[in-house]
Amino acid sequence: MREKTLRLIVAFASTHDAMAFEETCLSRGVPGRLIPLPREISAGCGLAWSAPPGEEAAVREALDAAGIREQALRPCLV
Amino acid sequence: MIYLDNAATTMHKPQAVIDAVAAAMSTFGNASRGAHEGALTTSRVIYRTRAKLAAFFGCPKSEQVIFTCNATEALNIALTGLFHAGDHVISTELEHNSVLRPLYRIREEQGVSLDFVPADKKGCVDYADFERLIRPETRAIVCTHASNLTGNRLDIGRIGKIAEAHGLLFVVDASQTAGAARIDMEEMKISVLCFTGHKSMMGPQGTGGLCIRGDVPIRSFKVGGSGVQSFLTVQPPEYPTHLEAGTLNGHGIAGLSAAVDFIQSVGRDTIEKKETALMMRFYRGVSEVPGVTVYGDFSTEDRSPIVSLNMWDLDSAMAADELAQTYGIATRAGAHCAPLMHRALGTEEQGAVRFSFNWFNTEEEVDEAVSAVREIAEWARP
């Protein structure tokens, strides 16, 4: 089992938003990847973007560029 | 077989479509259901296909491209989800049952009232009738882009302007045009565009959708698994999830994506010109045959590649069977699920034999079909 590390997690309202955000991050070089939505962020299921904790500014800029309103954006041990 | 039943479905698909479906069937997980590579691969293809279709149809928001299994499902979603008791809807006599039956259902079950713009003996409408039928409680105009029986196209840009001028929703059934005819939702003021993937888009059966322009709330038609917001007791409110319960046809959507690429690589306009030329070649050929009656308006080439005809008083079913059995030519006989159109043309009893053309047809095939019609008409001469 991998050891948990602190990550910046972004949760989305829909898979479409998650896909749009991934595309935007890839095009802008924002590091991270899609992961299953951690329970600490929200119960249920869905996708979340996991980014290094120091990338909040880049992540917020990417959200703006993609025109996405996130459901949650905060650090989390995953 | 000479396949001239493309208005029902295109049998010959681009190889890229076939390859895309085959590849998807060995690599796709379930979209929106997990973050492993199989699921993400499918989610990405579906996401990109929405974007392609949004651009192709001029739909401003790709998340408002909703996938369905065909145009009928898209029309059911739109027509049962848009209206309320007391609303009035205007449609036309050109419609297929995929529009008519949902409309009749909401008349019975939701208390929506209906009026139909009449068609003349050539299957044409008077556009002034749309305005004439508008009343204070009118909420929408719902119409086909082209008759599946005659091929006559409606000027949806003109109807869209009427709808916009009166603050009405405009719902278009593009079953016979999507992929071949130019459609721009923004320019044509279309609120909801319903399309199928397996006809002139040349994609797989089981694909289609509706594109929603602007802030148009549609009630959920089906509810269930969404892969997100699982503890909500209702379908999530965000498009596309709001209208897409259950696993999508990812394999089919991969093929539809390849179909859009094919159309754009050849050029939609190029495809339309070839299909129109084949249709007009056939029309000119059969028009000279004694005893042949062709239905529809051929005074313009701005029409879908369909020619419906009868030979003397020969039963259209018998004619189509003769074409298939003796000449190996696939056509469609009968009523074509277009009862009001047949009534307007006076062909309720005889039906009609429909020949419909596609990018993959050839002039040689058209000429063989003309010869076959000539021989059958001579045989049927009273």
- C-alpha separations of B327 from B12, B321, B347 in Å: 19, 9, 25
Tokens 């313009």 identify what position?
B300
Q: What average pLDDT does this structure show over B251-267?
A: 98
CA-wise closest residue to A62 among A6, A20, A5: A20
- The answer to whether residue B351 scores a pLDDT higher than 90 is yes
Q: What is the domain partition of chain B in residue ranges? A: 2-10+267-380, 15-266
Q: Which of B35, B40, B231 is nearest residue A44 as measured by Cβ atoms?
A: B231
Instruction: Kindly determine whether residue B229 and residue A13, on different chains, have CB atoms separated by under 8 Å.
Output: yes
Decide if B230 and A45 are in contact by the 8 Å CB cutoff. yes
**pLDDT of res. A1:** 87
In chain A, what is the straight-line distance between the N-terminal and C-terminal CA atoms, in Å?
A: 12
Statement: A6-77 belongs to CATH 3.40.630.30:
no
The pLDDT score that the predictor gives to residue A45 is 77
For B43, which of A15, A43, A44 is closest by C-beta distance? Answer: A15
Quote the distance between the C-alpha of residue B78 and its chain's center: 14
Residue of B47, B67, B228 to mutate, testing the A interface (most A Cβ within 10 Å of its Cβ): B228
ipTM higher than 0.90?
A: yes
B2-10+267-380 sits in which CATH class? alpha beta
Alpha-carbon gap: B37 to the closest alpha carbon of chain A (Å): 10
Q: Which range is least confidently modeled, B191-205, B225-239, B319-333?
A: B225-239
Nearest-Cα residue of chain B relative to residue A15: B32
Say whether pLDDT at A2 is over 90: no
Cα B123 from Cα B295, distance rounded (Å) = 8
Q: Which residues of chain B neighbour A12 with C-beta distances below 8 Å?
A: 228
Topology (CATH level 3) of domain B15-266: Aspartate Aminotransferase; domain 2 (3.40.640)
Interchain contact, B228 vs A45, CB within 8 Å:
yes
Task: Provide the pLDDT confidence category of residue A65 given band limits of 50, 70 and 90.
Answer: very high
Domain boundaries, chain A: 6-77
Q: What is the pLDDT of residue A42?
A: 83
Cβ contact, residue pair B63, A47, below 8 Å: no
Pairing of strands B113-117, B306-311: unpaired
Contact A15 B228 (CB under 8 A): yes
Q: What pLDDT does residue B301 have? A: 94
CB contact under 8 A, A46 and B40: no
B135 CB burial (10 A radius; 0-12, 13-18, 19+): exposed
How is chain A classified by DSSP, letter by letter?
Answer: -PPP-EEEEEE-SSHHHHHHHHHHHHHHT---EEEEPPTTT-SS--EEEEE-GGGHHHHHHHHHHHT---SEEEEEE-
Is residue B81 within a helix (H) or strand (E), and if so which, with residue range?
Answer: helix B71-82
Contact B63 A46 (CB under 8 A): no
